[in-house]
Each structure stands twice: as structure tokens, then as C-alpha cells.
Copies of this chain bind each other. A is one copy, B any other.
Amino acid sequence: MENKLPTIKEIAKQLNISISTVSRALHDHPNIGIQTRMRVQELAKRLHYEPNQTAIFFQQGKTFTIGVILPELSEAFFSSAISGIEDAAQKANYTVLMGQSHDSADKEKQLIDTMKKHRVDGLLISISKNTTNYEHFEALQSYNIPIVYFDRIPKIPNIHYVACNMINGTVQAINFLFKKGHRIVGMINGPEKLPATKERLEGYIQAMTKSRLKYDPALVLNCDLTKESVCAATEKLLSGRRRPTAIVTFNDYVALDAVQQAQKMKFKINKDVCFVSYANLPMSNYTAFPPLASVEQFPYQQGQKATETLIELLQQKTGDEAETTNATFYKIILESQLVIHEGK
């Protein structure tokens, strides 16, 4: 009892007209007379006809699907971002094929393969923190599959990307601390190679020099975001010669671990030492000592913008076939913004 789905062919046969007429009638092609058009559309409805998308994908050489590769959905940043992506994609009638790299370069490569196989029209990627080799990304270019990177951007020339400028936010954060009287401000930064890390550092330095304080490299430590390395960094900062009274951490998760470590060292949070961070997680409202302020990076908007950009690229592509000279690259920067929590 294989309840075969009705096809355009079936409709044609029942109405004794040609396949092409049916196809055109369903697309409201002006060449088709109003009456046949109606007859077709009615029968289609009656049979619950639905076009076979796989056939269309195949025929058109497009899947109206965009692939998304990101490190880790359980991080609030990315789950927000994917919502922005989904929403923007849906608006343009695209579908999303998603995969998590779990910060493994291998998994990432594998995902790219899968996506390529599935013939996604384009890709949105936030690279894993362990990716050092960018060949597999570049290979895609030759397949003519456009990529828009977001948030975690690889260091390769001539790419499209959407990111959030952390410099300003960092300056804001540090100025905020200055205003509250802090003079020695430490920083627990991220993995050295991440651009995000460099930006935070740059913001830090800018803020320092603007305030005519000297930049003391001993006050800025890197960590690899694991709990151990965060604790180590915290310990080192708080037992150093110049003990900071405030610390800027790479993100809210880092802040949480740093706070715990500081407590373990018998420091009173918000008294002996304060924390400011990045991300602005909703859960911060519930933690024992949320950071006094947090730099918002607008993940939803980043996802949205990246998707819109990609779709624009896709539409461009179908437009000017020959004009491959179209070598402009989108570099979209959103501004971060400090959000102050301490009011409550």
C-alpha cells in the first residue's frame, strides 16, 4: 500500500494536459489560461500535491540550505547566535544545517565535508579554538561555496566576516572601573591566538594609556578557558606583587571560575577584588557574585547579520555569473557595549 505521493505528472495525466502546463500553472505563469490554471491548482490541492524538493534542488543545483558550523551550542553565546541565524534564514526561505565542532579541528573538517556533500549553498562558520590549519576552508572557495565567518574569525586574507568589536567595550569596562576608584586592574584574557584575545588586550592598553597609566604586562594573563588555567591565572594575579583590585575576565564563565578561586584564597568579592567580564549571560543574575558589569557582544545580532550577508552573497552569485571580479569582501563590525549590573 505504498501511498505514492502525487507528482506533477500524475496531475497532468488526470487532467489530460502536459506536464509543463501543470508546472507553469502551479507557478502562476501568465502563459497559462485562467481556467486550466484553476483546474490544475484545484486538483493539486485535492491530491495534497507537494513539490518534491529533492527534485527541485537537484534540478536547480541549489538546496536553499545554509550550513552552520560552530564550536559549542551549550555556550549561551552560540545558542543565541543560532537563533539569529535561524530567524534570518527563515525569512529568506533558507534552511539551516547545523553542526558543532566541540572545538575540535578534526570534527570541524569532517563537518565541512558533510556540508559540502549536502551541497549547502553557503556556510556560516565560527571556528574552533583549536583550528590552526585553514586549508579546508580555503578549499571551499574553489567549490564556489561562499563562507561568512562570525565571531571567531580565522586569520586568512580575503574573507567575509561579521564580528563584534571588543576594543570599545573593553575601554568602557576599564573606564567604568577607573570611575569606581580602581587603579590596578588585572586581566584574565583568552587563548593567545584568538583575535578576540588580541582585541581585549588592545582595548586594555588603549584604556590604560588614555588614562595616563602605564601598561603593566604582568597584570594581563592568558588562559585557555579551562577551569584549571583560569584558577592558575587568578591565583597568580592575586598573589602578585601589584595586586589588582579589579579583574577583567575573558567572559562570564571565566569570571565564575575566577570568583571561586578568589574566594578560595579568602578574598572578599566586591570588596577586596571586583570582576568585570564579557558576554552578559542571563544566568549571571543568579550567581553568588555576578560580575559588576559585562560587555555585551550581541550574539543574536551577529548571527542574524552574518546570515543576511551570506544570503546576499548567494543572490549576487546567481546574478552576475561572469563577473567573478567581484572581489569585495564584507567585513561587518558590530559595536560591543558595557552593561552595568550592580544596580540591583
Which A residues are closer than 8 A to B by beta carbons? Answer: 1-3, 5, 50-55, 57-58, 61, 63, 65, 73-74, 76, 79-80, 82-83, 86, 90, 95-100, 102, 114, 116-119, 142-144, 256, 259-260, 283, 286-288, 321-322, 324
A54 partner, pick from B57, B287, B321, beta carbons under 8 A: B57
Residue contact B83 to A95, C-beta cutoff 8 Å: no
Residue contact B58 to A55, C-beta cutoff 8 Å: yes
Q: Which residue of B lies closest to A52 (CB)?
A: B119
Residue contact A80 to B74, C-beta cutoff 8 Å: yes
Residue contact B50 to A58, C-beta cutoff 8 Å: no
Residue contact B99 to A96, C-beta cutoff 8 Å: yes
A209 → chain B closest CB, angstroms: 34
Q: Which residues of B contact A259 (CB under 8 A)?
A: 286
Q: How many copies does the complex hold?
A: 2
A58 partner, pick from B2, B54, B142, beta carbons under 8 A: B54
Which 10 A-B pairs have CB atoms at the shortest separation, nearest pair first? Answer: A288-B288, A58-B58, A73-B79, A74-B79, A54-B58, A256-B286, A54-B57, A53-B117, A286-B287, A54-B119
Q: Which residue of B lies closest to A117 (CB)?
A: B53
Residue contact A73 to B83, C-beta cutoff 8 Å: yes
Q: Which residues of B contact A63 (CB under 8 A)?
A: 54
Task: A131 to B80: give the CA distance in the assembly, Å.
Answer: 23
Task: A142 to B102: give the CA distance in the assembly, Å.
Answer: 37
Q: Which residues of B contact A116 (CB under 8 A)?
A: 50
Q: Which residue of B lies closest to A324 (CB)?
A: B1
